[in-house]
Amino acid sequence: MKTTELAWFKSSYSGTQGDSCVEVARAERAVCVRDSKDTTRPHFAVTPGQWTHFLTFATEA
């Protein structure tokens, strides 16, 4: 799936300055992550299970 075909979402915790943010999009079999400051750079993808593991870790910290 091309980056332009994905529906990207930015965290509600993101500031209005546009710095230090990532955007996330759900693909058919993956969760895609990209730098919101430079959306022309390639994104990376993880499995839904890996994304859940990351979110669990991040919210416990």
Q: How confident is the model at residue 19 (pLDDT cuts 50, 70, 90)?
A: low
pLDDT > 90? residue 44: yes
Distance (Å, whole) CA 26 – CA 30:
6
pLDDT > 90? residue 22: no
Q: Where are the domains of the chain?
A: 3-60
pLDDT > 60? residue 23: yes
Residue 18 region, left (φ>0) first, then alpha (ψ -120 to 50), else beta?
left
Of 20, 21, 19, give the one whose Cα is nearest residue 8: 21
Q: Residue with structure tokens 């710095």?
A: 19
